[in-house]
C-alpha cells in the first residue's frame, strides 16, 4: 500500500514541475507601423515628408513620459522626444518626418529630408539611457506601410 501513495506523489510532482514555455512580454513602448514611402513623387515638400511616419504605442496601463526617448533609423537619424510628450496608457503617437504643430497624438521630426528608406530600413525605439526597447525592420520592394505587430 505504501507504493501507491509514492507513485501518485511522484506523478503529481512530475506534472507540477513540468515547465511551460515562457513568452516574452511586450515592450512598454512598441513600434506599431512604419510608413516608409509617402504617396506621390518624392519632392521633399512638407506634406510629402509628413507622409512618412512611425507609430508607437504604450502597451502598459500607465502613462509614460517620453522625455529623452529616441526613435532612430538604421543610418542613425535620431528624433528625441521633448519633456512635454506623455504617451497615455494603451495610447499611440505618430512621429511624422516633416514639420507641424506637435499635439498629444502626433509629433513632428522637423526634417527637410526623408528618413525611412523605400527599400529597407530598421526603426528603433530607445530609452533615455540608450537601452533598446523595440525595433521593426522591413525589406520590401512594395512601397506601402510596414505593420510591425
Domain segments of the chain as ranges? 27-147
pLDDT at 41: 82
More confident residue, 139 or 23: 139
DSSP output for 3-29: HHHHHHHHHHHHHHTPPPPP-PPPPSE
Quick one: average pLDDT of 142-149? Answer: 65
> Mean pLDDT of all residues in the chain?
85
More confident residue, 65 or 147: 65
Spatial neighbors of 9 by CB under 8 A, at least 6 apart, are: none
Statement: residue 21 has pLDDT above 80: no
Only one residue has cell 507609430, namely: 55
Question: What's this model's pTM, rounded to 2 decimal places?
Answer: 0.80
Whole-number Cα distances in Å, 45 to 57, 60, 78: 27, 36, 20
pLDDT at 59: 96
Q: Which CATH class is domain 27-147?
A: mainly beta
Per-residue burial over 118-146, b = 16 or more CB atoms within 10 Å of its CB, e = otherwise: beebbbbbbeeeeeebbebebeeeeeebb
Dump pLDDT digits (tens) for 30-77.
Answer: 999 999 988 888 888 999 999 999 999 999 999 999 999 999 999 999
Dump pLDDT digits (tens) for 102-119.
Answer: 999 999 999 999 999 988
Amino acid at each position: 500500500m505504501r507504493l501507491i501513495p509514492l507513485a501518485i506523489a511522484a506523478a503529481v510532482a512530475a506534472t507540477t514541475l513540468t515547465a511551460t514555455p515562457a513568452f516574452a512580454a511586450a515592450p512598454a513602448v512598441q513600434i506599431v507601423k512604419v510608413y516608409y514611402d509617402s504617396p506621390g513623387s518624392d519632392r521633399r515638400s512638407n506634406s510629402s515628408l509628413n507622409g512618412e511616419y512611425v507609430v508607437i504605442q504604450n502597451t502598459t496601463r500607465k502613462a509614460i513620459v517620453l522625455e529623452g526617448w529616441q526613435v532612430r533609423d538604421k543610418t542613425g537619424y535620431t528624433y528625441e522626444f521633448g519633456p512635454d510628450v506623455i504617451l497615455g496608457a494603451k495610447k499611440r503617437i505618430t512621429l511624422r518626418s516633416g514639420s507641424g504643430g506637435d499635439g498629444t497624438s502626433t509629433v513632428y521630426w522637423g526634417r527637410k529630408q526623408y528618413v525611412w528608406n523605400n527599400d529597407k530600413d530598421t526603426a528603433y525605439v530607445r530609452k533615455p539611457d540608450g537601452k533598446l526597447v523595440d525595433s521593426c525592420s522591413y525589406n520590401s520592394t512594395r512601397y506601402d506601410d510596414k505593420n510591425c505587430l
